[in-house]
Amino acid sequence: MAFVKSEYVFRLLSVLGLLAQWGAMAANGTLLGLMITAWEGQFPNGVPMNTTWTGLWPLDYVLSLLVAFFYPILNVTDLENPAPILLLTDLLISLSVFSFMAVVEGRRRKDMSFPAAWQLAWQFFGAASIMPIYLHSYIKERIPNKPRLATHQAKILPFTAIWTVLTNLLLLVPGVMGASPFIIQLSIVVWFFLPLVTEFVENRISPLFTYYRPNEAYHPVLIGYGIVGSVSAIVHVVVGLWAYNSSLMSWKRMYWPAYSAVQPGPSLLLLGGTLFCQYGHLSLSSSVVALAAYTVGWDVFVTKSYFDIPRAGRLVVSVIAIVAVFGPGTGAAWLLYMREMEMNKSFVSTKDL
């Protein structure tokens, strides 16, 4: 039986994601609105925007584009309903799973050794176009080819998992708490650069874990995926129930992209940004299902390695069900957790020979 090569599927997902997010913003005027706002230093509703962050104009303009995108969603006091901020919260917490994944895989493989670069890429360009590229890089290596993390690298990972979740709170909390426009804008810029300091923070914290000795049953990588996956599941369920029980929102209007909802006017950036996040969430779910198909599904059928075909099929179906109920972040965390367990078994079996 012939199967579609994974590179074709993930490239297609990346192109579709690029068109859905950036193509839509260009077509509906949101992209032009962002560029004008960043250039003029003022939002359509008259709120001033700080445009000087580093003193380097090209970098400041890029950061101003980022601020122009996120501020209308984060400024809760100006929202008619909480749907945009809830959607963004769900998406960011889902992405924290992949941020943790990037740190783990960055320590194992030279071709993925710059986790902060990947995180900065999907934070600015969007998960829809970047995540398929990253996930395809991940699946190039089969389980036995993955080097095991050294103890001094692994023991800090539960903290790293918590860190990846907390960094998103820095972005979300100021707007929810009604902070001033400048503080909200500052939090956007600081949040964007936080992946660059993750390793520095880990190095400062690691002495606290000097006497921690990981074991096979509770390996730090497994604990880390358990943390980010559990938080992602809780947030997704809470957001879904909030939307379901609210008279101002509905689950469909929150998550399902509605291109026609973006119209010119003072709310253009908010509506366009919300649509961008909706496409991001939908694309992330599709990418996780594709990841499952090519790690415990079709590629396994071809290579006949590590999972028998019935079990592979059950795992793929399980991932689809988890994504549908608990969101893409939890689906990815569960899948990666299972992969880590399989790798640990392989390592133990090899060690016992």
Indicate the range of 63-67, 116-120, 162-166, 309-313 predicted with least confidence: 309-313
Q: Counting Cβ atoms within 10 Å, is residue 318 exposed (0-12), middle (13-18) or buried (19+)? A: middle
Q: Which stretch of 21-35, 203-217, 328-342 has the lowest confidence by average pLDDT?
A: 203-217
Write the pLDDT tens digit of every residue in 141-194. 655 556 667 666 778 899 999 999 999 999 999 999 999 999 999 999 999 999
Confidence of residue 293 (pLDDT cuts 50, 70, 90): confident
Q: Which has the higher per-residue pLDDT, 1 or 121?
A: 121
Locate the domains of the chain by residue range. Answer: 6-284
* pLDDT score at 141: 64
Q: What are the start-end ranges of the E strands in 267-330?
A: none
pLDDT reported for residue 303? 45
Average pLDDT, the chain: 86
Residue 217 has pLDDT above 80, yes or no: no
pLDDT in tens, 37-77: 999 999 988 899 999 999 999 999 999 999 999 999 999 98
Whether the per-residue pLDDT at 309 is higher than 80: the answer is no
Average confidence (pLDDT) over 248-253: 83
User: Highest-confidence range of 101-110, 149-158, 212-221, 236-245, by mean pLDDT?
Assistant: 236-245
pTM of the predicted structure, to 2 decimals: 0.90
Question: If pLDDT is split at 50, 70 and 90, which confidence band does 352 have?
Answer: very low
The confidence score (pLDDT) of residue 2 equals: 42
Considering only residues 126 and 302, tell me which one the structure prediction assigns the higher pLDDT.
126
Q: Span 218-224, mean pLDDT?
A: 84
Predicted pLDDT at 147: 63
The identity of residue 153, as a single letter, is Q
The residue ranking higher by pLDDT, 259 or 218, is 259
pLDDT confidence bin for 1, thresholds 50/70/90: very low
Ranked by mean pLDDT, which of 217-221, 251-255, 344-348 comes out on top?
Answer: 251-255
Contact (Cβ atoms closer than 8 angstroms) between residue 93 and residue 235: yes
- DSSP one-letter string for 57-88: HHHHHHHHHHHHHHHHHH-GGG-SSSHHHHHH
Q: Report the 10 Å Cβ neighbour count for 352.
A: 6
SS3 content of the chain, % helix, strand, coil (to 5): 75, 0, 20
Number of H-type helices and E-type strands within the chain: 17, 0
With pLDDT > 90 as the criterion, what percentage of the chain qualifies? Answer: 60
Least confident stretch, 21-35, 60-74, 107-121, 169-183: 107-121
Which residues, 6 or more positions from 165, have their beta carbon under 8 angstroms from its beta carbon?
Answer: 93, 96, 227, 228, 231
- Triad 56, 31, 180: Cα angle to 5°: 60
Helical axes 127-139 vs 268-295, angle rounded to 10°: 20
**pLDDT beyond 90 at 252:** no
Higher pLDDT, 111 or 102: 102
Closest CA to 101 of 287, 316, 317, 321: 287
